[in-house]
Amino acid sequence: MQVSYHGHSVVQVMSKNKNIIIDPFIKGNPITDLTVDQVKVDVIILTHGHNDHVGDTVEIAKKNKALVIAPYELAVYIGKNGIDIHPMNLGGAYQFDFGTVKLTQAFHGSSYQEEDGTVVYTGMPSGVLITAEDKTLYHAGDTALFSDMKMIGERHEIDIAFLPIGDNLTMGPDDAKDAAKWLKAKKVVPIHYDTFPHIKQDPIKFSELLPEGVGLPLKVGESYRV
């Protein structure tokens, strides 16, 4: 399994010749290295409905004929655009041809603001566990620290975790440090920081809070083989 980080919460995963992208916020993302035309994927996974996570899902899905996996209400909402969807819900898992996807809880909001300002409720926010090639990836989505992260860490051997550190809207570095401890992830990549002025953080300093060798502050566009 190879992963790459592309700014904000955008993560790409290559597994079993399937290219997956999580929360593809490209246009309007000032720190990404991607353009929508560059994104070639088979699967899109969404953690929740906020615009900076749904991002360019519809355009990318149509161009690539990609499957969109998302929490139920969000999947149904996105599916009205004529794209292929697979709705899921918290606690549920499903075996796809590239591996298993399981949605976990996240403590956050989930709504999509349309161009005319209309706000559409898009169900519960989630984190996501992807297990493929005998490796497990955890993308926490946008979330506060919550004690059931201990259970996630106890029940799943997590090889790499992507945790928000931006504060203000999600966990900050101190809470993310505790999340990393509870999850017992072998590697932890900080996400959801620096995109906007109110979530500026130093990923190097965050990684220094973790045990030696655990912090993995990937630069935008950088890849890592799990």
What CATH number is given to the structural domain containing 52? 3.60.15.10
Contacts 24+ apart (CB under 8 A), 220-223: 220/5, 220/6, 220/7, 220/31, 220/32, 220/33, 221/4, 221/5, 221/6, 221/33, 222/4, 222/5, 223/2, 223/3, 223/4
- 185 phi and psi angles, rounded to 5 deg: -70, 145
Looking only at the bridges linking them, the beta strands covering 187-191 and 126-132 are: unpaired
Closest CA to 56 of 38, 71, 73, 72: 38
161 alpha-carbon distance from chain centroid: 10
Domains: count for the chain: 1
Give the residue numbers spanning the domain of 57. 2-215
Residue 84 forms part of a structural domain: yes
User: Do the beta carbons of residue 180 and residue 187 sit within 8 Å?
Assistant: no
134 alpha-carbon distance from chain centroid: 20
pTM above 0.85, yes or no: yes
Residue 204 forms part of a structural domain: yes
What's the DSSP call for residue 1? -
Residue 222 forms part of a structural domain: no
* Angstrom distances, CA of residue 41 to CA of 1, 16, 63, 161, 162: 15, 13, 9, 21, 20
User: Do the beta carbons of residue 21 and residue 60 sit within 8 Å?
Assistant: yes
Give the pLDDT of the chain (226 residues) as one tens digit per residue. Answer: 999 999 999 999 999 889 999 999 999 999 999 999 999 999 999 999 999 999 999 999 999 999 999 999 999 999 999 999 999 999 999 999 999 999 999 999 999 999 999 999 999 999 999 999 999 999 999 999 999 999 999 999 999 999 999 999 999 999 999 999 999 999 999 999 999 999 999 999 999 999 999 999 999 999 999 9
* Angstrom distances, CA of residue 170 to CA of 108, 165, 191: 8, 7, 10
Q: What is the pLDDT of residue 17?
A: 84
Residue 226 forms part of a structural domain: no
Alpha carbons 42 and 19: distance in angstroms, whole number: 5
Token digits for 192? 């959801």
Residue 46 forms part of a structural domain: yes
Residue 114 forms part of a structural domain: yes
Residue 58 forms part of a structural domain: yes
105: left (phi over 0), alpha (psi -120 to 50) or beta: beta
* CB-count exposure of residue 186 (10 Å: 0-12, 13-18, 19+): middle
Residue 158 forms part of a structural domain: yes
